[in-house]
A and B are shown apart, each in its own frame.
Chain A
């Protein structure tokens, strides 16, 4: 043996292996990653993959057959109800494990465990918002219900059965790339997933921004800038509906009107859910359809991600036969239909997250002033594990209001954090949201629907319903605090109980419609009811999609499924239609040069459709954007950084109602600007931006908007970029840059149900699978898949491509 060369080359070999197996020198462990038998190559699923399998598990009570069709949609047939949830959990994990775990880790404030201390602020914010606390109290409620408990237990067992079968080579791609392994699933994780949805849909508030605005503007200006109700609104429950005398009376504290003026601005910046999270849904009665049966439509607008939030499936048990989309991470069908009825949701958007200023006795935060005495706080210790670093322990003080989110330990990006704010969030209250989906999946009629939806407390949703017996209904469901006008729009004093939520609105006082005379029900996140509804509803509701949907549904008759497909993918911008006269009537055309005239012609001749090739849509976007900024920039020039801006409806309604709208004048100039001045000067600014865009070849709406569906890691290589789809914020087809219709569904409740659906993704979460993003092109084209509600007897149908059997071992 030649010792020296042996030692040298042994050292080189071992070093090489160590380097290729770790991230010491390379950004990725290339040896481990590229080993054809272990690494990413193993995730390259053969395009002719055979998904047929015979599996057996001791947890099962009977036999389960799963038929996978050509789109990889599973049709589950079980003899035992509970087995369905085991298999659902197994399939969710098989096709979507990584996203399920990532979303629950994020919800639990545990992202730092995976990606290191870059996520520490996110984790702390979620812990301090009480996400885990909320999930724990929900879980208690869920496990108190025997049906929900066994549903969850079986689902969890199914997920874990799949996780246990994983080897290094069969790990999902993202685990290999990032370098970690999945942990066991639990019922708490399902609860955390649902709280994640609560955050997304009911976690929005503008309390700090509004407080600063109220503080900054005069009382008169504030009232003009932030009206409680929009003139143009066409509420979900139509105007003129008569509401009974409220059962709950709330008292407004006498100091509430004077409280907020002349204070120091609060510079807290919160992590907020996407403000565009919204949706459309509607149902038309058989009187308006060609078939004579009701049609129900729903398209929830959420962040466009891969793997998709949704996973399509059919679950057929002895007691129900439900088809629709499910949440990987939670049992049941969430939006869909069964043999009797169909159901869908849009976000209610009520403000159920409020802040209270807390006065601690001293820095120890052990006591706070409440109702004229010092009251003890309770501490919750949040241990945050950080990859490659020691644990971080966050001590969160809990008060009667809820957790103190912002205090000396957590500034929320303030430079001086001398004040403490506790958050009262409705999602902290115990509730069992899974129950609504369980009951809807089994619902047979309107009574079952009504009994199901009252279980939905948070996030509040507009629940649409249609049934084969001809019934249609919508309920603006949720357990909402009964608020006095303005309550919770601003930070409230937390020194006593006078500003606390006094009661919840009784469930039988939630606005709803059942078989209305107009023969349709609809919602698009607009205000649930007009000002005669006896409880305060808050001010933040987008009115425009709802106006257009109702206009169209009112006019439509003899409706077919194709009409509904056209409506759901409609690119008409009703906001633009309403705003256009402002530009056309007030533009000082004689002041425009040739180039500006060219763009004005594009605007003038635009058909209000956000179609892919439309240049007018882009011109309008910039014209409005610049008009908005020209009007408001002077009022806001000296404003605090964290401050509320008026909604676009405020400006539009302001100038339509009053062409001498006070804020049109630029207060920084000696002369008095008019509407025509602002329209013209802002359009000239818009043209500067537009001609730059044109030079880059991006004047067409599709190129400017540049829709994408991004992988949850935001890595472009795993995303679908530059998708040629029209639509926009105010269109029914609300496809924006990275946000939009996340599932489009149309259900015709004919004796034999007919349904169509599509979501921008694919059934497999594996980027190496051809089923990863194969629905996207269909979605982009505004086309649908015909949904196949399989019957057990159709086992031999050509649409069945693979069969998985699950049996008791």
Chain B
């Protein structure tokens, strides 16, 4: 999570995928678990960051942008969308990373 935050200070937003990919490749975990941890990490990071920013802004921007993008005036829905996007991208990247290792670690599902 911290790595993703640091990476985004210097690199494009999709560096979260690379970070999740590398982390998942290094830490032995099953594919499903990798997805879940990647998803959770970025869901919390992006959700938390957007909440913190928006809260400091009295949600002025979130009201407008949610209306613009989601067609609903709901700052929290915009934060949820943000968190989901971060989570899903990181989750898939982490899952991809987990396949880089030689074999399954645990695999009741496979």
Q: Which residues of A contact B (CB under 8 A)?
A: 1-2, 5-6, 9-10, 12-13, 16-17, 20-21, 28, 30-48, 168, 173, 177, 715-718, 767-770, 772
Contact = CB atoms under 8 A, between A and B. Distances in A.
Nearest to A40: B65
Contacts of A44: 53-54, 56-57, 60-62
A41 B68 contact: no
B31 A48 contact: no
A6 B67 CA distance: 38
Contacts of A36: 46, 49-50, 53, 82
B92 A768 contact: no
A20 B85 contact: yes
B95 A9 contact: yes
A31 B96 contact: no
A673 B82 CA distance: 68
Contact of B68 (A37, A39, A43, A177): A177
A717 B81 contact: no
A38 B88 contact: no
Given A5-B31, A34-B81, A767-B61, A10 B13 contact: no
Contacts of B69: 28, 30, 33
Contacts of B17: 13, 17
A177 B69 CA distance: 10
B64 interface: yes
B18 to A, nearest CB: 10
B8 A35 contact: yes
A13 B13 contact: no
Contacts of A770: 58, 60
A41 B61 contact: yes
Contacts of A39: 13
A39 B78 CA distance: 13
B57 A45 contact: yes
B67 A37 contact: no
A370 B89 CA distance: 69
Contact of A37 (B9, B56, B81, B92): B9
B12 interface: yes
A137 to B, nearest CB: 41
A717 B67 contact: yes
A178 to B, nearest CB: 12
B93 A13 contact: yes
Contacts of A9: 92, 95-96, 99
A15 to B, nearest CB: 9
A5 B17 CA distance: 17
Contacts of B46: 34-36
B57 to A, nearest CB: 4
A715 B82 contact: no
Given A13-B92, A34-B81, A36-B82, A6 B99 contact: yes
A272 B64 CA distance: 31
A34 B21 CA distance: 21
Contacts of A13: 17, 21, 89, 92-93, 95-96
B49 A5 contact: no
Contacts of A47: 56-58, 60
Contacts of A772: 60
A77 B30 CA distance: 64
A1 B99 contact: yes
Q: Which interface residue of B17, B50, B103, B104 has the most chain A CB atoms within 10 A?
A: B50
15 contacts: A1-B100, A5-B99, A13-B89, A13-B93, A17-B17, A17-B89, A20-B89, A32-B12, A35-B82, A36-B50, A37-B5, A173-B61, A715-B68, A717-B64, A768-B60
Contacts of A32: 12-13
B14 A1 contact: no
B94 to A, nearest CB: 9
Interface string B1-43: 0000100110011100100010000000001000000000000
A708 to B, nearest CB: 15
A35 to B, nearest CB: 3
Contacts, number: 123
A190 to B, nearest CB: 30
A769 B68 contact: no
Q: Which interface residue of B31, B62, B68 has the most chain A CB atoms within 10 A?
A: B68
A718 B82 contact: no
A6 B104 CA distance: 12
Contacts of B85: 20, 30-31, 34
Contacts of A16: 88-89, 92
A357 to B, nearest CB: 47
Contacts of A717: 64-65, 67-68
A49 to B, nearest CB: 9
B110 to A, nearest CB: 9
Given A34-B50, A39-B13, 7 more contacts: A5-B31, A12-B92, A13-B92, A38-B8, A38-B12, A767-B61, A770-B58
Contacts of B82: 34-36, 41
Contacts of B88: 16
Contacts of A168: 12
Q: Which interface residue of A1, A13, A48 has the most chain B CB atoms within 10 A?
A: A13
Contacts of B99: 1-2, 5-6, 9
Contacts of A46: 56-57
Contact of A768 (B49, B50, B57): B57
Interface in B69-107: 69, 78, 81-82, 85-86, 88-89, 92-93, 95-96, 99-104
Contacts of A31: 13-14, 85, 89
B60 A1 contact: no
What 10 pairs between A and B have smallest CB-CB spacing? A768-B61, A35-B13, A36-B49, A44-B57, A44-B61, A6-B99, A717-B67, A46-B56, A9-B96, A37-B8
A64 to B, nearest CB: 29
B72 to A, nearest CB: 11
Nearest to B92: A13
A567 B43 CA distance: 57
Nearest to B54: A44
Contacts of A30: 69, 81, 85
Contacts of A38: 8, 12-13
B53 A41 contact: yes
B37 to A, nearest CB: 15
Contacts of B49: 36-37, 41
A168 to B, nearest CB: 8
A672 B13 CA distance: 76
Contacts of A34: 46, 50, 78, 81-82, 85
Nearest to A32: B13
B9 A718 contact: no
B26 to A, nearest CB: 14
A345 B21 CA distance: 63
A488 B69 CA distance: 49
B99 to A, nearest CB: 4
Nearest to A168: B12
Q: Which interface residue of B13, B21, B60, B104 has the most chain A CB atoms within 10 A?
A: B13
A716 B46 CA distance: 27
Contacts of A17: 14, 17, 89
Contacts of B65: 40, 717
Contacts of A43: 61
Contacts of B78: 34
Contacts of B81: 30, 34
Nearest to B59: A44
Contacts of B104: 2
A10 B24 CA distance: 13
Contacts of B9: 37
A683 to B, nearest CB: 42
Contacts of B13: 21, 31-32, 35, 37-39
A305 to B, nearest CB: 16
Contacts of B64: 717-718, 767-768
